[in-house]
Chains A and B, each alone.
Chain A
Amino acid sequence: MREVAAEFKRPVMLYSIGKDSSVLLHIAIKAFYPAKLPFPLLHVDTTWKFREMISFRDATAKRLGVELIVHVNEEGIARGINPIDSGSTLHTQVMKTDALKQALELYGFDAALGGARRDEEKSRAKERILSFRSAGHVWDPRNQRPELWSLFNTRIRQGESMRVFAMSNWTELDVWEYIMLEKIPVVPLYFAKQRPTVRRNGATIMVDDKRLPLNCDETPQMRMIRFRTLGCYPLSGAIESDATTIEDIVAEMRTATVSERQGRLIDTDEAASMEKKKREGYF
């Protein structure tokens, strides 16, 4: 992280409000102490995030005194893109991938720090810590730089950029254990609570606001649920759980039998879908 601050002209930290982002931000604060963060946070808002995420985001930025940039793809809004009518694939492409590219270009960021981990998904396992993107933010899996020891090649040309995955070698369990150890605040949605939900395509979806159209046979039911991963609420599947504290979550993690991405509807579209999205510029 200090390498990024030292080597790039205009770095930014991507802040998704999730647990990984919370850890990443916490570590950044520690790394630069007593100085302030030498880069701003960027949140790409799809406008379909849980309401609790947005309030947590704003409270966090205020609490830590960090510069927060929120970017929304206005063009996507104007075209009426949303996860329900447009489908998850198009929504993700326009409101996340395209929006991120817009923001990076708008502000001229040459390095974007993110909290993605290698244990999340198969194509992530091969991702570099410094992931090179050519002009146009294209990720070519065959044109990545070898990374030996802790020696990173940070050289890029005008228009090219780096995605930096500082938490590549962390696992989901590591993240929770660290949150427990360092007492890092996270979005309350990670903790189990009675919430209004409906079941769709085998996933449990929380009814976060009135924008979720309910089928005639659906009535929201209160269930004791929590989230392992947070995204746009109509695309994030909850799990039934009684884990109300971090200690409970860590204990639950140790005996988990399904992966955290299971609840993410964007991954199941087709095999190797993450890789396709990454080639197109997804984080």
Chain B
Amino acid sequence: MTSIAMSKPVHPSARDQLRFITCGSVDDGKSTLIGRLLHDSKMIYQDQLTAVKRDSIRHGSADIDFALLVDGLEAEREQGITIDVAYRFFTTPRRSFMVADTPGHEQYTRNMATGASNAQLAIILIDARKGVLVQTRRHSFICSLLGIRHVVLAVNKIDLVAYSKVAFDRIVASYLAFAAGLGFSSIVPIPISARHGDNVVDRSAHTKWYHGPCLMEHLESIDIQSDTASQAFRFPVQWVNRPDPDFRGYAGSVASGRISAGDEIVVAASGRTTRIKRIVTHGGDLVDAEAGDAVTITLEDEIDIGRGDLLSRPTERPSVADQFAAYLIWMDNEPLAPGRNYILRIGSQTVAGSITAIRHRIDVNTCEHLAAETLSLNEIAFCNVATTLPAAFDPYDVNRKTGSFIVIDRYTNRTVGAGMIAFPLRRATNVPWQALSVGRGERAALKGQKPCVVWFTGLSGAGKSTIANMVDQKLLAMSRHAMLLDGDNLRNGLNADLGFSKAEREENIRRVGHVAKLMLDSGLIVICSFISPYRSERDMVRSLIGKDEFIEVFVDTPIEECARRDPKGLYSKAKAGEIKNFTGIDASYEAPIRPEIHLRTMEQAPEQAAEVVVDAVMARALLCDERR
């Protein structure tokens, strides 16, 4: 199991353990429910109960306040709220349970995520009088994001709505409608009263209309077997065991899958392969080891392996990449600084890295995607992450152990973020470049031209498309093979999934850059017309294409003139607030510093401007011809 927290002993009766979290809003009765579960399953000792009875009176309640059994820290007891994650344990004859009690109020997304990270099931509490709240949605979304697949919808305080079936049914219907997209594999709604014990451990006489299981019955019987042993073999090396020069073993816990002595393995980062020689334990060598086993393995060949390496079978390798896309939960008061150097802990690997782009922030209450430049405490985003060295990992939804990471601030040493990897971005080592037999020069020669990329940049309405179209027509008239890529057109197809946040604009340009490069390689003169407001993204394309083949054309028109022309009616919409992130209005435009061609449309007619560009393209072609 875990590395520091050791796995539980395997009991002869093979009693299994269910780890679940409880989440709900303030006063939904979470702590009361846990206290009730502990009490009714006879896990509260007499002395503890006596202490709680005494405390209940001191805190001003006449009955036993079960919440006092579980609310641990003094400060929160004074405030009457839970402020952290508390872990509780109870055992029934059928199963043992570990409960993460997680707080429900607004600012504690981080604690909930912490509790959810190791849970298999979530009990989501709803106050029967209040129904599905914003917090309910947030908790459900976080559970889903952290990979929890089983949900119990505990409609609590059912006694306060007179055990009404109508009220229960209405809440369930509204929850199911909302949760449909969250990927839960089971949602079990149960009407309960934590305070009075209805349907918690014993079936209630007040809810004869309810025919499902009571809570404890469901927790004891739900099948949560994820069977990590049948997954691909993953072994993160924790510690190199070298007691003497003759023994070199690699210690760790099998994260998933199983392996036998003699099996072939590969070291993810280096790609080196060898075979398992021995699986060593204190109790003697094993023939095979599976998920959860803490073992020390020795290998047939002396290959360079250290702490942080991930071993797998050669046929089922993890991704190895220095860039990946991931969901990130920010957990620190100091906001995320994109581009800043953080320390990432991925499995037993520790690497330096940065968040290179926030693709979009996710509003946890509505699941809406929003543009974001940074992330504050408790915010969640889909990000691009880059590491200074390639890391080995799996997508989080395939493997929670090898797909999760934490972000550490290198100055404060605080854990500032937690991430779930979605997919690798550049599979540098998995997808080597396939060498082609026919090169760019040969394709270009066939067309009798020197290919290049002509990149028009400028504000919306500056005249880019008009001039680019004329250039295209003129080149055609001269029997040149050209192709025009237009921003609006690509956004209707290839880039239809992208919005206008900074990250999405960058992705838009990245894709366009690669399309342009493919066309360039096929020998075409590629005319690109994109607002491309950021200097960095244009420089990115320039370096992708190569500076000799890249002609940057700045279509320079003052914004007042663009707004006056407003050929698509966009400026008036943007000014009216109907369009967000509009370049020149509420998003910035960074003018080129030294473009190859600078067109001033207030001084030049489009026709003249197009001539200037065509001349430059032809001069370039000529220049190359002469060189040849």
Contact = CB atoms under 8 A, between A and B. Distances in A.
Interface of A: 1-6, 27, 29-36, 118-119, 122-126, 129-130, 141-142, 144-153, 155-157, 164-171, 173-174, 177-178, 181-182, 256-259, 262, 271-272, 275
Given A125-B70, A141-B73, A153-B408, A169 B282 contact: no
Contacts of B8: 169-170, 174
A258 B96 CA distance: 19
Contacts of A5: 239
B254 to A, nearest CB: 13
A100 to B, nearest CB: 20
Nearest to B408: A153
B88 interface: yes
B562 interface: no
Contacts of A275: 72-74
Interface in B82-97: 83-89, 91, 96
Contact of A258 (B47, B283, B414): B47
Contacts of B118: 148-150
Given A151-B345, A153-B345, A123 B45 contact: no
Nearest to B283: A30
A118 B12 CA distance: 23
Interface of B: 1-6, 8-12, 45-48, 51, 55, 70-75, 77, 83-89, 91, 96, 98, 110-111, 113-114, 117-118, 238-239, 241-243, 247, 249, 251-252, 280-283, 294, 296, 307, 331, 343, 345, 347-348, 400-401, 404-406, 408, 413-415, 418
A169 B98 contact: yes
Contacts of B83: 142
Contact of A152 (B3, B6, B12, B414): B3
Contact of A1 (B4, B51, B87, B249): B4
B6 A153 contact: no
A156 B2 CA distance: 21
Contacts of A149: 117-118, 400-401, 404
Contacts of B345: 151-153
A36 B251 contact: no
Contacts of A151: 345, 347, 404-406
B239 A256 contact: no
Given A2-B238, A122-B70, A125-B87, A168 B243 contact: no
Nearest to A271: B55
Contact of B3 (A3, A118, A119, A144): A3
Nearest to A31: B294
Closest 6 CB pairs of A and B: A150-B2, A178-B9, A35-B243, A122-B72, A148-B117, A259-B45
A272 B51 CA distance: 11
A256 B400 CA distance: 37
A150 B241 contact: no
Contacts of A122: 70-72, 86
A171 B89 contact: yes
B378 to A, nearest CB: 12
A36 to B, nearest CB: 7
Contacts of A174: 8-9
Given A256-B45, A257-B45, 11 more contacts: A1-B3, A1-B4, A31-B6, A31-B251, A34-B280, A123-B72, A156-B413, A166-B5, A167-B5, A168-B5, A181-B9
B6 A167 contact: yes
Contacts of B47: 258-259, 262
A145 B406 CA distance: 11
A118 B405 contact: no
Most buried by A among B1, B46, B55: B46
A203 B239 CA distance: 46
B240 to A, nearest CB: 9
Most buried by B among A145, A149, A177, A271: A149
Given A2-B252, A33-B282, A178-B9, A146 B72 contact: no
A2 B239 contact: yes
Given A2-B252, A147-B114, A155 B408 contact: yes
A148 B251 contact: no
16 contacts: A1-B6, A2-B251, A3-B3, A31-B294, A32-B241, A33-B296, A34-B249, A35-B241, A125-B88, A144-B84, A146-B331, A148-B113, A151-B404, A155-B343, A182-B9, A262-B47
A182 B299 CA distance: 28
Most buried by B among A34, A150, A164, A256: A150
A114 to B, nearest CB: 12
Contacts of A271: 51, 55, 74
Contacts of A169: 5, 8, 87, 89, 98
Nearest to B19: A169
B110 A146 contact: yes
B387 to A, nearest CB: 15
B4 A164 contact: yes
Nearest to A179: B9
B6 A34 contact: no
Contacts of A33: 280-282, 296
Nearest to B396: A149
A160 to B, nearest CB: 8
A129 B280 CA distance: 27
B46 A145 contact: no
Contacts of B252: 2
Contacts of A259: 45, 47-48
Contacts of B331: 146
Contact of B418 (A4, A118, A146, A168): A146
